[in-house]
Structure 1
Amino acid sequence: MKSSTSQSIDNYLAAGDGAGSLLAHARLLQKLAHIFADIAPAHLAQASTVANYRAGMVVIHAASGAVATKLRQLAPTLSQEFGKRGCECIGVIVKVQTAEIPRRTTPPAVRPLASGARREIAGLRDRLPPSPLRDALHTLLSRAADE
């Protein structure tokens, strides 16, 4: 038995206004994703996702340019198969959507600088006139860990 809160949420999502159409669109995308998984070659289906459906066009995001090229070659066949399985599909749009590369969360490791190397670099820095090279050597010495 559903609680009154869950019933009111279900009623809201099933309504014909914005929330209802959003739920219907989500269900359609889910159906298209299942069909796509069935009709596309497995290696291509694993490297791509159904992203949207608008104006009779199924939008697919591919993980790489190579996958996108193969899917574009298969677009007429995919479109026909979507149609045969009950979805109004006049075409397939394939876009490359690469996965986000996670940002580095750990600071770079500080490499130790041998005492002899530190003395040589400091001596070179002290002999140089004021310049970007001298500034770079100063920065290197200040950032490097002692051995």
Structure 2
Amino acid sequence: MQNSLENYLEAADGAGKVMAHARLLIKLTHLYQEIAPTHLGQASRLANYKSGIIVIHAVSGAVAAKLRQMAPTLAEGFSKRGVECNGVQVKVQARKISTQSRASTQKPLSSRTSRTLEGLRDSLPDSPLRAALETLLTHSAKQE
């Protein structure tokens, strides 16, 4: 079974072209990490290679701008390492931000704080501040 899958992935009429392209991208990724300055290499990644154009995804506009300025140097670096490189295209591809929201945790008021706020509330005339303190004291958890 393993041999038949391996043969399919290697065969030209199977997924061979995809595997060859994947291997090329891995090789180019290693070269990119050597060529690019460390801080820019960490904030970007080689995304594709097509028709002699290397496509790089940057995590922010600032990183993309710097990489665009360096495009001729990067292309020259790839060419010196034996890669046919006619140019470098840089795109902004921000990292995916987690959509999970954090559950808010309610921190209880100490008994001293509760007494102090109650005293302040009682000393105030009817006003929005007094109403806000009343709401705070009503909804807050009490620490025992």
Q: Deviations over 1:70-116 (max 9, x none)?
A: 1111101111111121211110000011111101244444688x9xx
Mapped pair 1:58 → 2:54: yes
- In the other structure, the counterpart of 2:78 is 82
For this pair of structures, how many residues does the alignment match?
132
Match 1:14 to one of 10, 13, 17:
10
Q: Deviations over 1:15-66 (max 9, x none)?
A: 1125111100101100110000001111110110000111111000011111
> Could you tell me whether the CA contact under 8 Å between 2:8 and 2:14 is conserved in 1?
no
Matched residues, percent identical?
54
- In the other structure, the counterpart of 1:97 is 93
What is the 5 A alignment of 1:99-118?
99-109=95-105
- In the other structure, the counterpart of 1:36 is 32
Q: Which amino acid aligns with 1:90?
A: N
So what's the TM-score if we normalise by structure 2?
0.71
Question: Structure 2: how far apart are the matches of 1:78 and 1:18?
Answer: 33
Q: Which amino acid aligns with 1:36?
A: Y
Question: Structure 2: how far apart are the matches of 1:146 and 1:41?
Answer: 54
Q: Per the alignment, in what secondary structure is the counterpart of residue 100 of structure 2?
A: coil
Mapped pair 1:45 → 2:25: no
Gap runs ≥5 in structure 2: 109-113, 115-137
Q: Which amino acid aligns with 1:51?
A: A
Q: Per the alignment, in what secondary structure is the counterpart of residue 89 of structure 1?
A: coil
Question: Structure 1: how far apart are the matches of 2:85 and 2:51?
Answer: 9
Gap runs ≥5 in structure 1: 115-140
